[in-house]
Structure 1
Amino acid sequence: MASRNQLVVPNARAALEQMKFEVARELGIQIPQDGYYGNMLTRETGQLGGNITRRLVQMAEQQLGGSGRY
């Protein structure tokens, strides 16, 4: 099934892909070269997504000056 998620900033795709591979390497998770994630454990994909989200939130907080306000 193709992903229906669309990026708000399409130019960010390469940076997000790079982040995915970096986080996977840090966690010791092997990303399938063919792009098919169906054979990965749910725990692995959850860890990967959770850590990416955590990192994106940290980046946003830093850009906001750590205040957490808009």
Structure 2
Amino acid sequence: MTRKNKILVPEARAGLDQMKADLMNSSTPDQTKYEVAQEQGIPLKKGNNGELSTRDAGKIGGQIGGQMVKELIRRAQHQIEKEQT
């Protein structure tokens, strides 16, 4: 699968991928993707997923992305609190 979102700091890719894996309690971002799909009952397979609906693909990415955004907000709030003290 290709990544359509561009990271403003390309060097951050590895860190973001690791955070994604940590949030989903798995060792790799790819493994995370398959675990979420399995939990959602979505038939994601390695290789071509041309028959996968947009809705199903969104369910996978939305769950992962939503948790990442929540974690980034939590970290930013923690950093702001540290700076104010």
Give the alignment's TM-score, normalised by structure 2: 0.53
Cα displacement (A) at 1:53: 0.6
What letter corresponds to residue 34 of structure 2 in structure 1? F
Structure 1: runs of 5 or more not aligned: none
Q: What is the DSSP-based 3-state SS (H/G/I as helix, E as strand, rest coil) of the residue aligned with 1:9? A: helix
Percentage of matched positions with identical amino acids: 27
Match of 2:51 among 22, 32, 39: 39
Q: Deviations over 1:26-57 (max 9, x none)?
A: 11111123x21211111101111111111222
Q: Distance in 2 between matches of 1:58 and 1:15?
A: 20
The answer as to 2:57 corresponding to 1:53 is no
What is the aligned length?
67
Structure 2: runs of 5 or more not aligned: 19-26
Match of 2:31 among 18, 22, 26: 18
Q: Flag the structure with larger Rg.
A: 2
Structure with a larger share of its residues in helix:
2
Cα displacement (A) at 1:64: 4.0
